[in-house]
Amino acid sequence: MDNGTAKTGALPEAPDLRREGTKITGWLAGLRRVATWVAERELWLLAVVVAILLFSNTLPLSLLGASVILLPIPWLCRRVAQGYLSRSTQLDIPVAALLVMALVGLYPSVEMSTSLRVLYKMVVEVALFYGLVNGAHSEKRIWAVVAILLMAGTGAAVLGLVGTQWNMSKLAVLLPVYRWLPNTVIPFLNKAGFSGNIVGGALAMLLPFNLALFCFGSRRRSRFLLGLSLLIIGATVLLTQSRGALVGLVVAFVAMAIWRSRWFVLLVPLGLIGLFLGSRYFGVQQMADFLLISNTTSSAQGRIELWQRAIYMLQDFPYTGIGLGTFSRVAPILYPFFLIGPDTVVPHAHNLFLQMGVDLGIPGLVAFIALLTAFASTAVVTIRRARGTEFAPLAIGLFCGFVVYLIHGLLDNVTFSTKPGTVIWAILGLTTALWWYLRSTEQGASG
């Protein structure tokens, strides 16, 4: 065989494996850089989705579903860039159980569109929690989230001053203020205007850590802005006259005082003595009416009847609940009221724990109590670790916001079906992020 033939019949040269390996390595490195960029900006994506959530009652259901589909993207990018989906927390198992029961809660729903909207809100709120846990991973980012929360709270308070449907029958001394304030309905946020109880409950959760940072924080340059925010939010909460929010704030402020000095624990027996003397002077019935009367119920008996109906629902639907967000549809038909007028719309059970059981069944209620317990444990550890640092006022303030949520929840409802539910999930997420940061700082110092 001559040379020409040999050249013609020769096998092709083997590819340069080293060059191909370099290309693949470069491609993977580029993919990891993109994934890192996306994962680091998860909070911006969440800000967009949470903004969409605020308009959930007016936007098409398909748009809400599409926005929820975007939420796993940062998780996948974090898996590619850093090797894990999310930081682990003590709240993981209760959160997973709540999501499972939320899916189960779709089964008995008589109004699927309403239940899906509540489910989407819940998913976004859980995503916000984990977004803060993973995104607020440094001192700079933690303070940035605090600033955003306070600015958002101040903006919400200003909107509340403009668009809340005030109850002018409680304190006559405030009537001139109500007449001076504009009464404007903002249709794309709420067609009927804002409820005073909801506005008061949401803002009251932000007030304690605003107050703690103003009184005990070390950043003097921000003292003026903190004071201005405190004044606007506090005035709005007072004008709502939400009894649950105001009682919750009193308990939270006592807890904050005890944190500063153990001598303030004496306020607890003094408060109990005051309640006893008040019941003797005004009467138990009058005090109960003062706490329990609302736009929905005109007497304490009406509120108790409402709670009884919620208990009946728990007895009849113990495993699935009645369907997410369908209380106002189910109650008048299956559990009619006698003390509440037939034309009155009752949106929820006016009790946080009963509403969770009504929406998610007894397993969901158990998961919710487990979530609260796990968070309380995390918050207490965070307060202990933050002692002596500039984060100490923030830690106790966030915990006191949680206290307001619990106390207010005994008289009203701020859960997944309401917009202010976003506030408590932000508090849970920021506290857990602070817990992570302080733990890693301690481990770095000991190492």
Range of weakest confidence among 148-157, 260-269, 357-366:
260-269
According to the model, what pLDDT value does residue 5 have? 47
For residue 71, the tally of other CB atoms under 10 A from its CB is 19
**Rounded to two decimals, what is the model's pTM?**
0.88
Q: Which helix (H) or strand (E) holds 426?
A: helix 421-446
- Per DSSP, 10 falls in state P
Indicate if the pLDDT at residue 366 is higher than 80: yes
According to the model, what pLDDT value does residue 190 have? 65
According to the model, what pLDDT value does residue 341 have? 73
CB 279 within 8 A of CB 424: no
pLDDT in tens, 249-280: 999 999 999 998 888 888 888 888 887 787 77
CB 32 within 8 A of CB 82: no
Enter the tokens of residue 105: 């809660």
- Share the mean pLDDT of the chain: 84
pLDDT band at 32 (very low <50, low <70, confident <90, very high): confident
pLDDT band at 6 (very low <50, low <70, confident <90, very high): very low
pLDDT in tens, 398-424: 999 999 999 988 887 766 667 778 899
**Which of 236-263 are b and which e, b meaning 16 or more Cβ less than 10 Å from the residue's Cβ?**
bbbbbbbbbbbbbbebbbbbbebbeeee
pLDDT band at 169 (very low <50, low <70, confident <90, very high): low
Of 426 and 46, which is predicted with more confidence?
426
Helix, strand and coil content of the chain, in percent to the nearest 5, comes to: 75, 0, 25
Of 10 and 301, which is predicted with more confidence?
301
pLDDT in tens, 92-118: 999 999 999 999 999 999 899 889 988
